[in-house]
Structure 1
Amino acid sequence: MAVIGAGAAGLSLVHRLCAPAPGRRPDVTLIDAPPGPLRPPERTWCFWGEPGGAYDEALTASWDRLRLRGHAGDTVDCTLAPTRYKMLRSTDFERLVNARLDAAPHLRRTTATVDGIDDLRPGAVVRGTTEGGTPLRLRARWVFDSRPPRALPPARTLLLQHFRGWFVRTAQPCFDPAVADLMDFRTPQPAHGLSFGYVLPLDPCRALVEYTEFSPQPLDDTGYDRALHHYTSQVLGLGAFEVTGTEQGVIPMTDARFPRRTGSSAFRIGTAGGATRPSTGYTFAAVQRQSRAVADALARGRPPLPPPAYPARSRAMDGVLLRALATGRVDGTRFFTQLFREAGPERMLRFLDGRTTCREDFALGLRTPVLPMLRTAAELPWLRRRPDTRARGIPAGGRPGHEETGPPAPETGPLA
């Protein structure tokens, strides 16, 4: 079998397929893009999980407490025990997984630009050009493609989650390493959508500080820098600090339907296969679920169609929320602050990860602005799904939960 792309989705699947287990392991060819624009930049993923996870030894940091700050400065504290909010840098993830794969006896690696996948029924042929310029024709029983789509599928609603983050080092201790700020709404709000700060402390003097917006269009460099200068100086009051690194990304938040199967033997995985949560951008945990399901199906001799990353109920709720935010029918800052406060942090965090039950989702719905949400739900079936030119060239990334993305979308953030 062939896996296209050596980012989070591709490496996670290969890691599962090559893990030691009883019985014969499949022969796997991992096709990575050559160095250049087809490879995603360094980025950060964040996700929830219990201690002792598969990638814990590569984590940059983790927290068992989260905080949400309202526009007026009121706080909602979230205790996560026994789970933790984990921060994983893509370079550390790749280093760990590649070291484990070095000894995999059934893995072959190649570097090539993939041009297309031909369906053979059964099987498929991956066509491309190797790094040395020679043609590539690789026949495989199953092909898993994690490349971001050239354009997003038609949708009824598309907002962009766009952000820039600074890794900062302050002159004086300014951060509590025990608490991460998931959403800080003490930022100036845009005319359409919402904005918030996001702070992942690494120690008392170091943190990743991000400015994030949900809005129709990204900002320019001046806009992001102005917002970050305001947030770090006027809101956080950091005083003197040094910027040691930056991250920036754009994540489409859309109710588009991402096909998981593109041929009799070809499948899409990662964000290309719908692993990014439409209302939040979280992806990494869903990629792990998809990878486990595909590996289990192959081990049982079943067709390895990646399962939906989120239940149909969750996707429907996301569609309503996105439309309500895009039309301005709900105030995003008030919406999220009220939900966290009234529904309880534990339930909200499960909702963000797509793991709530039907009863919990119904209870959450009752804590939203009911009339605007009902109006939005009633109109959705009558809206046509349309392509959006803003999506051209914008990879469908995942955020902290971000996933397999291409330039320019590193992943980090609260709703990544």
Structure 2
Amino acid sequence: MRKYDFIIAGGGMAGLSLAYYLTQSPLRDRSILILDKDVKDRNDRTWCFWEKGEGAFESILFRKWNRVSFHGTTHTGALDLGSYQYKMLRGIDFYEFIQHELNKWPNIEQRQATINRIKETPQGGFVIADDEPYIADYVFDSTFLLKLNQPENHNLLQHFRGWVIKTEKDCFDPTLPELMDFRVAQQGDCRFVYVMPFDAKTALVEFTLFNDYLLADTDYEAALQQYIDQFLDTGAYEICEVETGVIPMSDEPTEENPSEHIVRIGTAGGHTKPSTGYTFQRTQRYLRTIVDALAQTGKPNRKTSWFANRFKLYDSILLNVLEQHRHPADDLFTRFYADNRPERIFRFLDEETRFMDEIRVFATMPWRPFTSAFFDVMRRRMFG
């Protein structure tokens, strides 16, 4: 049984990003094994995120924008993003870029295998995949599944179905994506559509929900068709690609470092923001910090301040408002985007604001439902 310096269990976005950052660090010559059951050779997802300046994947971005459009209950129009840009990265471009980079390093092995077990041992992190044993100084695990059913936690889902459509008519503004369009029947949930234009006749149109149950495939498709028919003057159109996804929106406590030789990354390590489901950019930021710590100290432990835990409380409060239907979600997000500058919003969601900025954000929210949610969150935390 060969021992590696690092095993990356799960070769999705988090695992591949980690491998890439390792190659960009002083640890680039370490032996690395990447295990995943799938081959990443198709465009299975799209990541959209905001960012200041140029990021690690700037060269392979599919599109980026300086403004976005928003349709809410009392506010409609374009939002100037200031020093931020809204960026779109296609899964296939990401996979091909990472694979090209990893192929430069003979010390990196990739094996297609189903991971059966991961456990801590005195000798290191131990992995069994397709009944073959592997061991490493550190195992980075993105395969661990959250329970998502504990009553003391808030457990919602962000789920979506998207169509890339090619239209007969010019009906998209390539310079102005639709960040959130709430002109769809809410049915007691948080439901919206976003539209990412590729050109005047091509766009990704995605129907997204925040709630605690999945729909039938026909329901997602009916919502997409109804939105296109009602709000887009397409003429005839064809569906070129389909993407679906389910992202947990949960404040279930996660352990990034459950043991000495195992580190959880991605959603498994709490890198998904509970209140929004945003994962890509947050995962990138955390992984870079983990690699920096590993290079500097020999241990992959991120340092966090106790005061940063206030954002976990904020997440739980918003999840409680959504879960308990304390206020219409479309109005909440309208207030959020209409009454705050986009730069403040993005800093807040990235957990980079100062406390006074957070007070200014809270002041734009309806106080009664959030106060009720706060006390319910505290009750759950104290009494379960």
- Same fold, judged at TM 0.5 (above): yes
- Number of the residue aligned with 2:13: 8
- Number of the residue aligned with 1:238: 234
**Distance (whole Å) between structure 2 residues aligned to residue 14 and residue 254 of structure 1:** 27
> 1:153·1:257 contact (CA, 8 Å) conserved in 2?
no
Indicate the structure whose relative CO is greater, using CA pairs within 8 Å and at least 6 residues apart.
1
Name which of structure 1's ranges 355-364 and 5-14 shifts more when overlaid on structure 2.
Answer: 355-364
Aligned 1:195-344 pairs, distance under 5 A: 195-306=191-302, 311-344=308-341
How far the C-alpha of 1:365 sits from its partner, in A, is: 0.9
**Distance (whole Å) between structure 1 residues aligned to residue 191 and residue 62 of structure 2:** 26
Give the match's secondary structure for 1:96.
Answer: helix
- Number of the residue aligned with 1:158: 155
How far the C-alpha of 1:208 sits from its partner, in A, is: 0.4
Deviations 1:227-278, CA, capped at 9 Å, x for gaps: 1111111123333211111111222211111221232210100011111111
Select the residue among 15, 31, 34 that pairs with 2:35.
31
**Distance (whole Å) between structure 1 residues aligned to residue 25 and residue 311 of structure 2:** 34
Deviations 1:128-151, CA, capped at 9 Å, x for gaps: 21xxxxx42112111100115163
**Distance (whole Å) between structure 2 residues aligned to residue 308 and residue 284 of structure 1:** 20
**Distance (whole Å) between structure 2 residues aligned to residue 20 and residue 261 of structure 1:** 21
- Number of the residue aligned with 1:94: 95
Counterpart code for 1:233: D
Paired residues in the alignment total 377
How far the C-alpha of 1:34 sits from its partner, in A, is: 4.4
- Number of the residue aligned with 1:174: 171
Provide closer, same or farther for how the CA distance between residues 35 and 13 of structure 1 changes in structure 2, counting only shifts above 3 A.
closer
- Number of the residue aligned with 1:84: 85
Listed as ranges, the gaps of 5+ residues in structure 2 are 1-5
How far the C-alpha of 1:383 sits from its partner, in A, is: 2.1
Name which of structure 1's ranges 248-257 and 87-96 shifts more when overlaid on structure 2.
Answer: 248-257
**Distance (whole Å) between structure 1 residues aligned to residue 43 and residue 171 of structure 2:** 29
Name which of structure 1's ranges 60-69 and 298-307 shifts more when overlaid on structure 2.
Answer: 298-307
Identical columns (%): 36
**Distance (whole Å) between structure 2 residues aligned to residue 120 and residue 140 of structure 1:** 10
How far the C-alpha of 1:349 sits from its partner, in A, is: 2.2
Provide closer, same or farther for how the CA distance between residues 208 and 342 of structure 1 changes in structure 2, counting only shifts above 3 A.
same
Aligned-residue Cα RMSD (Å) equals: 2.5
> 1:165·1:208 contact (CA, 8 Å) conserved in 2?
yes
Listed as ranges, the gaps of 5+ residues in structure 1 are 130-134, 388-416
Give the match's secondary structure for 2:345.
Answer: helix
- Number of the residue aligned with 2:104: 103
Counterpart code for 2:64: S
**Distance (whole Å) between structure 2 residues aligned to residue 236 and residue 273 of structure 1:** 39
How far the C-alpha of 1:156 sits from its partner, in A, is: 2.3
**Distance (whole Å) between structure 1 residues aligned to residue 192 and residue 344 of structure 2:** 21
How far the C-alpha of 1:68 sits from its partner, in A, is: 1.1
Counterpart code for 1:292: R
Provide closer, same or farther for how the CA distance between residues 84 and 203 of structure 1 changes in structure 2, counting only shifts above 3 A.
same
> 1:76·1:340 contact (CA, 8 Å) conserved in 2?
no
How far the C-alpha of 1:122 sits from its partner, in A, is: 4.7
